[in-house]
Structure 1
C-alpha cells in the first residue's frame, strides 16, 4: 500500500511539473512572438498586389486577429502559470480563487475557440490560395518560424492544455455571449480600418462581393461559436468525472 501511495505521489508530482513546464513554455513562446512581431516585423507601406493595396499602416499589428489571438494566448498561459503557484490546480476545488476562475473563463470563452479559428481558417485559406491570406510578398519580412508559432503552435498548445487541465465552463449563454461580443467587435474594428485606410485587413475580403462578404462574416462568427461548443463538448468527454462532480457540488 505504501509503495502504491508513493508511486501515485511521484506520478502526480511529475504531472504537475510537466503541466507547469507546458504553461511556462507557452507563455515565453507567445510573449516573445508578440514582442518580435511588434518590434521587428515591418511590412512595406502600401504594398500593391494585383492592382490593389493589401497593406496599410493604419491600425498597426492590432488589426490582425492573429496578433490579437497571440495576446490572448500569452495572457492565458501567464495566468495559468500564476495559477500554478498562487492559485489551485485542484480539479474541483471547494472554493476556487479568483485567478483560477479567470483562467477557466479565459480558456473556455476566448483562448480555445479563437486559437482554433485562427489556425483552421488561416491554413484552410492558405491551402486554397495563400495570396488570399498571406501573400508571398510578405515572406521576406515575416519569418516562417513566427508564422508557425502564431498559426500552428497556438492550436497545438491549446489542445494539449485541453487534455492536461480541467476547467469549469461558464454558463453556456454567458460564454457564447462573451465570445460573440469579441468577434463582433473585431468585425466592427476591421470595417473601421477599411473606412480610414481603404484597405481590407485580409486580401480575401477584397475579392468578395458585398453579399459574399456578409456570408463570409456570418460563417466566421458561426464557426467560432461552434468551436466554443466543441471545446465544451471535449471538456465534458475528457473530464467527465470532474464535470459530474462539479455539477453535484453546484446543487
Structure 2
C-alpha cells in the first residue's frame, strides 16, 4: 500500500491517520505518542473536540496535523486558527478544514476565502473542507477558483456516498473517511466477520483495509494501545476483489449515522 496520497496542491498526506474525536484532552497526548511510536504520522483533531492542547503535547516534528474550523467561528477563521495553533503549540498545521458548510448561515464561501489567505500566510500548508456536498464545493470554487485538497466525510460500509466520492475523483479532491467503522453492528456483520476469520484479521482491520483498497484516506479513532495497533496493522491486510465486492454490497443510502450537512 502506498502510505501517502499526493494532494492537488502538491503536498503529501498520510493515507491512514489517527482520529481523536471524543478522546479527552488529558488523555489524548499519550494516545498520540503511542500512535506515532507505532508508525502513524497523521493526527486529526478539531477545535470542537476540545483536545488540541493535548494533541499538541503528543505530536512531534514528524506528525501531519489536521484541525478544523468550527461553525461559530466562520466569521473569523484567522482568529480561530490562531487560537488552535496556540493550543497545539505550532506555527502552522498541515491541513485546515472548514468543519461543516452551515449553508443557512451563508458564510462558508467567505470562510473559504479566509482559508486561502491563511494558506498564503503559511499558517496551514493545505486547505480543505469536511461534510461538504457538491453544491457547497461548487460554490466555493466558483467564488475563488480554488478547489479543496480534501473533503472529510462520513463514509463506512453501510453509507458509502458513492456519488460524492465520484464527484471528488472528478475534481481531484481526496476523500477522507470519518466514522470509518460505522456503528458497532457493522463490526459484527456476518459478511465482515466471515472475511476477518478467513484472513486471520479483526473486523476493524477488514473495514479499514476496504477503505484503503477503495483509495480513501481514513482516520479511525482508537483510545488505547491495542486498538491503535490493530487499526495500524490493517495496512497489512490484503482483500480479494471478491471481498471488496462483498463489502461494497453492504451500502445503504439511508445509512447515515451523523448529521445531515444540509441541516446541521
Greater per-residue strand proportion? 2
- Structure (1 or 2) with the larger CA radius of gyration: 1
Specify which structure has the bigger relative contact order, considering alpha-carbon pairs within 8 angstroms and separated by 6 or more residues.
1
Q: Per residue, is there more helix in 1 or in 2?
A: 1
